Amino acid sequence: MASASFVKPNVLSSPWIAQRSFTTHPSASSPPPPRVSFAIRAGAYSDELVKTAKSIASPGRGILAIDESNATCGKRLASIGLDNTEDNRQAYRQLLLTTPGLGDYISGAILFEETLYQSTKDGKTFVDCLRHANIVPGIKVDKGLSPLPGSNDESWCQGLDGLASRSAEYYKQGARFAKWRTVVSVPCGPSALAVKEAAWGLARYAAISQENGLVPIVEPEILLDGDHPIERTLEVAEKVWSEVFFYLAQNNVMFEGILLKPSMVTPGAEHKNRASPETVAEFTLTMLKRRVPPAVPGIMFLSGGQSEAEATLNLNAMNQSPNPWHVSFSYARALQNSVLRTWQGKPEKIEASQKALLVRAKANSLAQLGKYSAEGENEDAKKGMFVKGYTY
């Protein structure tokens, strides 16, 4: 958890502000003021981190998230009548990662640890499959959510213990970016403790990742659960992101070598009114412009239980005018749902399933460029995927 000793400075109590005048020049006999160093430590990987981040944040491309835990992948497989075995998980991920032409629309793929070390049935590693498609391999590094003592029935994210050594091994295996997801619940307050814990954990993870050559995706997900209006979501998102960037700076994280994975600013899933794509874009971009430095190269939005079409339409609306960052996607269910429905675990349907993946990937590629049209979208793509209290 966050240390209580890390508190925001009170500028009025600072001797440099409260006791010194910026217009007063020291006499010749006065000792020079102490030199203050503001080091940004990304170690020997600084140039590589920037290059990797820019590669992922390339025009018309986004991230395919297939980092579900084995248990959650099992739920996906169960929905089409397959058992949760390693062979079935491998077959499904092979279907996704060997899709011809995927690199035209996908710049990075987040993998679960099992997948990072797996190969195709004919022996080609998944890492090599991605590299040959010009897709950067990534890795989920957090260890999941656990109840946060002293909070309002909220969670904190585990995984900092041993993260440096695990990250070094993931880098050797070929991963070049990482992902750490923590969550904030609007109906639970959120409490100041939960917000601070989320921000501090993300900042420590980001610093450790950079020092081991991995571009960190910073993801404090504002859960869709609740019946609150969009204005309340904006208020919470601004609070969370201000804390996140405060602690990122405290931990000397290089902003040019990170990516963000925020939630879109929407009403709670149980609110009586849905927001139009234009409204979602307005509120989301307002939050980003108030909280995110332009040094950050990419904003890779999560879909958070929106329907496939809704996630694409909202992304498209955000790209109708220039942004300081690459505004794109890092979708899991919003890219995979059609694939699973098409595949049904049948070998003869692999080609059709891969085409379904390309349809969704291309749609979101066009949305990243602000050129998407929902004309011709099928009804299945419009079905919501929100699950209350969703975990993975």
Which residues carry out catalysis?
219, 261
Q: How far apart are CA 170 and CA 83, in angstroms?
A: 28
Query: What's the DSSP call for residue 203?
Result: H
- DSSP helix/strand/coil, 323: coil
Cα–chain-centroid distance for residue 223? 13
Inter-residue contact 2 to 201 (CB < 8 Å): yes
- DSSP helix/strand/coil, 293: coil
Q: How far apart are CA 65 and CA 181, in angstroms?
A: 12
Inter-residue contact 343 to 92 (CB < 8 Å): yes
Inter-residue contact 310 to 264 (CB < 8 Å): no
Inter-residue contact 333 to 385 (CB < 8 Å): yes
With a CB cutoff of 8 Å and minimum separation 6, the contacts of 59 are 326, 368, 369
Give me the DSSP letters along 35-103.
P-------GGGHHHHHHHHHHHT-TT-EEEEE---HHHHHHHHHTTT----HHHHHHHHHHHHT-TTGG
Residue with tokens 């925001």: 8
Give me the DSSP letters along 236-275.
HHHHHHHHHHHHHHHTT--GGG-EE-PPP----TTSSSPP
CA dihedral 238, 267, 79, 67 (to 10 degrees): -10
